[in-house]
Chain A
Amino acid sequence: MTIEQTIEKLNKSKVPIIVIDKKLERFKGQNLFPEKLKRANEILAKTGLPKITDFR
């Protein structure tokens, strides 16, 4: 693949180049959105996970 092709591919990519930063691991185990998570769990408890086949 030429440089031009590589650049074109990167520009069209839906994901930019990701830099891995180990410092972000400090957030693991923390609940940073408690209200949102609570509401998400309430909705899921009420409805369950829908069957994907119902929406294909």
Chain B
Amino acid sequence: MKYPKYNYRSESSLQFFEFISEGPKGLIKKMVIYTETTTENVYNLGFGDYNESTNGINDLSVTNNGDSQKVLATVASTIYAFIEKHPNAWILATGSTSVRTRLYRMGITNNLTEIEEDFIILGYSKREEWEKFVVGEDYEAFLLTKKENKN
């Protein structure tokens, strides 16, 4: 993505990422996590604010830290890192709210040309089927894999 991004930390499997959002609300720890689904090679992407006291992640929070583009670019960047380590993986992302889903859609739309250089990206339509991502369409979920993936 063409936007600046935060540096992040991860562990050896590159499934758990952590970075710090910096803005008027202070320093907020964010996590991006790729979890195995029941379908082989398909991982669910989740991200949200890490809560130290509960050791949990709030994916409903709206931080308003003035850096949503940078946060989204960082999340997108973890996709490249994750796919590098898991080249045959598919990544499925659903928004925790309709607002968050729209945010994902905007992020994809704004960077579609660049994304499509490396990935195939699909949207889960209201007809409950996967279709090639179309700008302006409403999707509940997104699915992405490397173009080279043989499937």
Q: Identify the A interface with B (CB < 8 A).
A: 14-22, 24-25, 27-28, 31-33, 35-37, 39-41, 43-53, 55-56
- Which chain A positions have C-beta within 8 A of B122? 50, 55
> Which B1-22 residues sit within 8 Å CB-CB of chain A?
1, 5-18
Q: Does B120 count as interface, using CB distance less than 8 angstroms?
A: yes
Q: Does B46 count as interface, using CB distance less than 8 angstroms?
A: yes
**Are A14 and B77 in touch, CB under 8 angstroms?**
yes
**Are A27 and B151 in touch, CB under 8 angstroms?**
no
A48 to B37, CA, bound (A): 12
- Which chain B positions have C-beta within 8 A of A33? 33, 35, 44, 46, 48, 57, 59
The segment from B61-69, B102-110, B124-132 that touches chain A is: B124-132
- Which chain A positions have C-beta within 8 A of B99? none
If A33-B44, A52-B149 touch, whether A43 touches B11 (CB-CB below 8 Å) is no
Q: What 1/0 mask marks residues of chain B from 131 to 151 whose CB sits below 8 Å from any chain A CB?
A: 010000000110101010111
Interface size class of B (residues with CB under 8 A): 35 or more
A45 to B92, CA, bound (A): 13
**Are B16 and A27 in touch, CB under 8 angstroms?**
yes
List 7 interface pairs A-B (beta carbons < 8 Å), by A numbering: A14-B77, A32-B33, A37-B35, A37-B37, A39-B94, A40-B42, A43-B140
**Are B7 and A19 in touch, CB under 8 angstroms?**
yes
**Are B9 and A49 in touch, CB under 8 angstroms?**
no
Contact of B37 among A14, A28, A40 (CB under 8 A): A40
- Which chain A positions have C-beta within 8 A of B90? 49
A21 to B81, CA, bound (A): 15
**Are A16 and B12 in touch, CB under 8 angstroms?**
no
**Are A21 and B18 in touch, CB under 8 angstroms?**
yes
